[in-house]
Structure 1
């Protein structure tokens, strides 16, 4: 029915005689993700298909297992064979629907452009499948007979499916409606869950997410777009290998932002270069040179008449908050670039604590124990940029682990009104516990949030319904003993193993050895086939003394404080849930 590795991909077609593309024959390309929308495929990619047809792929389903930027665009679409189920398994869960989409008939040059626009071979591989038309329109020359289509699927090792961002999911839903795909499939798309990030500001979990995004969003966006600059460099649509590791657009982006290029084009779409230079008070020859890399990276487009416009990718750089995100990245770049010097001078070992000069940040400023928030306090202008940069990130809702049955797994507390069901350590303003209370009303007992005074001060006199708020320093003894569950979400990755042990030892001391559980929601890095964004996320934490951990790292850390892992639950969200008990 299908071939996992099509023998005539464009990479090979460049060297094979008398094949489809070399014969200049049109190619059917199956689209199932954001390319379903005319805005993405026709307007922004600049591709005009020779024909279109709504189709489905027998035996294949839609998945979201191509990793993107954590906490912003966690995953992008791919397709996968529907797993075979024997008779005993058929009643377990629902079988996903067959993947539907649009088959575009493209000339060879347009098809190669599609390959290039989807990462130039960095994220997807090409395969050939059989497609079936959704309708039996008389004008359709293919009818309902299966026909061959080329498409793109995830091009690297096994990964766990994740939720797409709301923005990305909406693109697919809009495209499905435009393509007039079956209503049942549109409903299925509408009901797909989205990734949701923390909402409350200046909490441990929010800080962890935002710190990563404020630094890496502009850099990773530049690296992603760089692949487009070298499309078809070898005639196949693939980019050179070195491009996959290049992040070099910050400088021209920042200069263009300071000049006001993005803001002006947002308000005056379609401006000639001489008009743009005059409006910005810039020299035209300089402006042309600044805009060249932005054109090459697909942030801008220019007509043959010299009229410039923003693309969908470039529009975000016109937002004031995102301008500040880029400014923050540039301001903080010298500190991050001090990492090599730090390890040369202080030895090639992990930062073990936040004392002395044990982190690159403290050593760079030559201030013992100097932390990130000390840095923001001492640099008000950068702090203002950081706060504004946080506003550039999307806010969403769901924060519980999607595959953990809290109602069934929580240790019972009985009818004692003083018994504590859960303590959320560093739990922000109670969002997770409110969600837990709403989803699992059968859980009895008190629910308590422990967090900093700065986080809770505005809520202490009017706490959320059913939630108790207690001011607490995570490096001190816990004020609540014997709770059924102690919960830590996106807390421990902000700290070195040394500091994390201090936090955990206080939790262990508060536990009831017979019934208390510890639930840790944090990233569990794969031991192999790690994505670039995952790896760089961990690397960025080195500057502040934090750490992202593999399963082995977690086991070592937790066993060192007297905890054993009972199970690790991995849902569609970036964080896994690690369930622990006292050893």
Structure 2
């Protein structure tokens, strides 16, 4: 479900006058061309579990201005400054996979912890590259339902009506599951750089609940109530197609012709949602299994259908589109990495704006030319 209109995260996003998503797409496309800088990386099992004491540090607890623990994500800029030497980062997409996170990105977590983040839902609404990587993982804020009033007990019928068989794909209604890595500030800057140089996402603090180890035989069995803590993650809010501009803004994009105004807006795709590639889904599924996330969540990820070209036209379109656009995307990707700040991982605004224009031009060329000629490059065509 979309976030509530009064959500401060959305209000902050609407104030941004540059690209929100573009470098995220370019940097993620690197994952199907790049190879790990080292031929091997430590296994997930070698990373120790985050101690409970770390979750009690000030950066993992709500700011003193809040009277109770938040039930929704909050902007990290609204949190009090912390002197903690490490950062708790919530991963939910391809960064769950050791091949991507430890190998390709070269991150070395100090500890890790499987968690549930009930205030978020997993989505695949970040546009990628048609025919090859149609979309990437994102999250959306999930409104937690309130306890409904208890209705009166109806009379019991003599025979319960039969329930219809469930033939549709699995639906997930239990929020996001992922892994919180404890990383150094330099590694977190590297994460921001490889996830779009800080332009694609807002840095938010998410309430997380630790998950117990899947296999444990304590000497004194007990059922402790999990205590929530805050972890940072990257969230790309979905803005309306024509977000309102401040009335006193002299550089309002609304003063530009509609075509150019569209090139400066964050790239979005119309419904129905696109399907991620088999490669991308495989990374997420592998990461879920490596971390031994709950079987029900693994089953849900396994049930997701990837994008697969089924016609000769789609396969030809994959080759043609990749040949035409990959050089420009790779050039922007390398430029974003080189020009990004080494301490913060963020790229200059002119880089993100230029990248937004390129991404939007690519998708416009798909809508106008490629889709009519080669067929759907976002969703599998049924036989």
Question: How does the TM-score come out when normalised to structure 1?
Answer: 0.38
Tell me the distance in 2 between the aligned counterparts of 1:45 and 1:132. 26
- Deviation larger for 156-165 or 97-106: 156-165
Question: How far has the Cα of 1:212 moved from its partner?
Answer: 2.3
Relative contact order (alpha carbons < 8 A, sep ≥ 6): 1 or 2 greater? 2
CA distance in 2, matches of 1:149, 1:96: 21
Provide the secondary structure at the position in 2 that maps to 1:120.
Answer: coil
2:100 paired residue number: 40
Whether contact under 8 Å (2:130, 2:377) holds in the other structure is no
Equivalent position of 2:200 in the other structure? 123
Of residues 103, 109, 119 in structure 2, which corresponds to 1:59?
A: 119
Number of residue equivalences: 252
Contact 1:117 1:231 in 2 (8 A): no
Q: Does 1:134 align with 2:216?
A: no
Q: What is the match of residue 112 of structure 1? A: 189
Match of residue 6 from structure 2: none
Quote the offset at 1:156 in angstroms.
4.9
Q: Determine the C-alpha separation between the residues in 1 that align with 2:88 and 2:358.
A: 31
Give 1:19's match in structure 2, choosing from 78, 81, 86: 81
1:156-555 to structure 2, matched below 5 A, reads: 156-157=238-239, 159=268, 160=271, 161-200=273-312, 203=313, 206-233=315-342, 235-244=343-352, 532-539=358-365, 547=369
Q: Which runs of 5+ in 1 are unaligned?
A: 248-529, 555-571, 578-583
Match of 2:175 among 83, 98, 106: 98
Query: Deviation of residue 227 (structure 1)?
Result: 1.9
- Asked if 2 retains the 8 angstrom alpha-carbon contact of 1:53 and 1:133, the reply is yes
The structural deviation recorded for 1:241 is 2.2
Tell me the residue number matched to 1:72: 132
1:60 offset after TM fit, Å? 1.9
**Structure-to-structure mapping, 1:138-149, within 5 angstroms:** 144-149=226-231
Could you say if the C-alpha distance between residues 538 and 208 of structure 1 is closer, same or farther in structure 2, counting changes exceeding 3 Å?
farther
- C-alpha separation between the residues in 2 aligned to 1:98 and 1:237? 29
Query: Structure 1 residues 534 and 27, CA, compared in 2 at 3 Å: closer, same or farther?
Result: same
Bigger Rg over Cα: 1
Listed one character per residue, the Cα deviations across residues 179-204 of structure 1 (whole Å, up to 9, x for unaligned) are 1111111111111110122442xx4x
The 1:48–1:576 alpha-carbon spacing in structure 2 relative to 1, beyond 3 Å, is: closer
Q: Does the aligned pair in 1 maintain the 2:274–2:379 contact within 8 Å?
A: no
Note the residue ranges of structure 2 that are not aligned, 5 or more in a row. 1-69, 149-163, 219-223, 241-267
- 1:166–1:575 distance in 2 versus 1, CA, 3 Å: closer
Change over 3 Å in CA distance of 1:576–1:51 after alignment to 2? closer
* 1:17-70 deviation line (CA, Å, top 9, x unaligned): x823xx253211000111111221112212111110111101322111111111
Q: Output one character per residue of 1:332-377: Cα deviation in whole Å (capped at 9) or x when no partner.
A: xxxxxxxxxxxxxxxxxxxxxxxxxxxxxxxxxxxxxxxxxxxxxx
Shift of 1:80: 1.4
